[in-house]
């Protein structure tokens, strides 16, 4: 097998139309969104059955992430021997309206129900309109019986911890946490590779045809961790933002004209929140700008040079 000429991999975004979306990703990151559509999600790095990221640059352009890893597993992943899908799903979310109240199952719940994929995630707040909030977890002492009654009465929001948010915060949401993203937020979401979502309340909304979205009340009630409170979930702003068994997230900040050495040995993913610059290695030069997500192969060595003040997230597994 030929050895990969390693370089930072960029990907074609996968855009998802959502009832609560908008065009903010075009305004902030200059994404080439379909005109006039409510784009709520841009999947920046994905390896799900029906949505697979395609490499956009270099010699591997046009290949899926999956096919590149199959061919150059050691070079890209290093000593990571994960089976199945790439173990991360990275998105940008544009919430022009509040999202549904929902929950994602944990591994035990998926096994118990015989379906679904577990999902632990975190949200990094890129921009927030004045008064923006998220709903993160149940209030202390809320029982399954009380929550079921709230579903019937349409008072689910009263059961949730409502949190005002600020730019630069990172909110950790382990699987089993009831949650919703509020209106006026642009978020980077880092999560396990799952699209299993159980909606329990959708604010009585309907789509353009007058139809409400499906709810998954039975599955949601089975998935929610009623023994944990949202008041105890972490929020961080600096340094290591998340350190869980599925992924680690670190925040970096470099000034204009600074340089940062990229050492070989560990695969890493960079999410550029603001700023721009270049990554230069042995014969390659890759530009990056706000809104880019880059996968750095484990064997790659290079230097990041920052053309302006830059904030970024580094994700490792």
Q: How many CB atoms lie within 10 A of CB 158?
A: 12
Sign of CA dihedral 129, 130, 134, 135: negative
Q: Looking at 199, 205, 213, 240, which residue is catalytic? A: 199
Question: What is the spatial distance between Cα 89 and Cα 291, in angstroms, rounded to a whole number?
Answer: 15
DSSP characters for 63-118?
A: SBHHHHHHHSHHHHHTT----SS-S-EEEEEEESSPPPEEE---HHHHHHHT----
The half-sphere exposure of 250 on its side-chain side, counting CA atoms within 13 A, is 9
Contacts of 247 (CB under 8 A, 6+ apart): 87, 88, 190, 192, 315, 316, 317
252 within 8 A of 312, measured Cβ to Cβ: yes
- What are the start-end ranges of the H helices in the chain? 24-29, 65-71, 73-77, 107-113, 144-153, 217-223
Tell me the chain's radius of gyration from C-alpha atoms.
20
3-state secondary structure of 28: helix
Secondary structure percentages of the chain, helix, strand, coil, to 5:
15, 40, 45
* DSSP SS3 for 231: helix
> Is 26 among the residues known to form the active site?
no
Annotated catalytic sites, by residue? Answer: 199
């Amino acid at each position: 097998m030929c050895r990969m000429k390693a370089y930072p991999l960029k990907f074609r975004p996968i855009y998802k139309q959502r009832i609560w979306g908008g065009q903010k990703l075009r305004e902030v990151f200059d994404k080439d969104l379909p005109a006039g559509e409510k784009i709520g999600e841009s999947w920046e790095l994905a390896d799900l059955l029906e949505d697979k990221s395609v490499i956009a640059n270099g010699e591997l352009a046009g290949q899926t992430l999956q096919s590149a890893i199959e061919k150059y597993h050691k070079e890209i992943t290093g000593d990571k021997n994960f089976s199945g899908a790439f173990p991360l799903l990275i998105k940008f979310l544009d919430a022009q309206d509040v999202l549904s109240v929902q929950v994602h199952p944990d591994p035990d719940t998926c096994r118990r129900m015989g379906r679904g994929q577990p999902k632990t995630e975190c949200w990094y707040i890129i921009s927030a309109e004045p008064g923006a909030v998220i709903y993160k977890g149940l209030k202390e002492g809320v029982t399954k019986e009380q929550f079921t009654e709230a579903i019937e009465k349409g008072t689910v929001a009263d059961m949730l911890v409502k949190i005002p948010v600020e730019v630069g915060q990172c909110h950790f949401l382990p699987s089993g946490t009831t949650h919703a993203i509020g209106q006026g937020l642009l978020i980077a979401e880092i999560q396990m590779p799952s699209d299993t979502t159980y909606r329990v309340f959708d604010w009585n909304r309907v789509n353009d045809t007058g139809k409400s979205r499906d709810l998954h009340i039975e599955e949601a009630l089975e998935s929610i961790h009623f023994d944990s409170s949202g008041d105890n979930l972490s929020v961080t702003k600096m340094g290591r933002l998340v350190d869980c068994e599925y992924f680690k997230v670190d925040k970096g900040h470099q000034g204009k004209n600074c340089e940062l050495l990229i050492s070989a040995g560990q695969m890493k993913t960079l999410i550029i929140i603001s700023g721009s610059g270049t990554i230069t290695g042995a014969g390659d030069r890759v530009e990056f700008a706000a809104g880019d997500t880059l996968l750095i192969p484990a064997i790659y060595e290079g230097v990041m040079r920052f053309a302006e003040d830059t904030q970024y997230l580094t994700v490792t597994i």
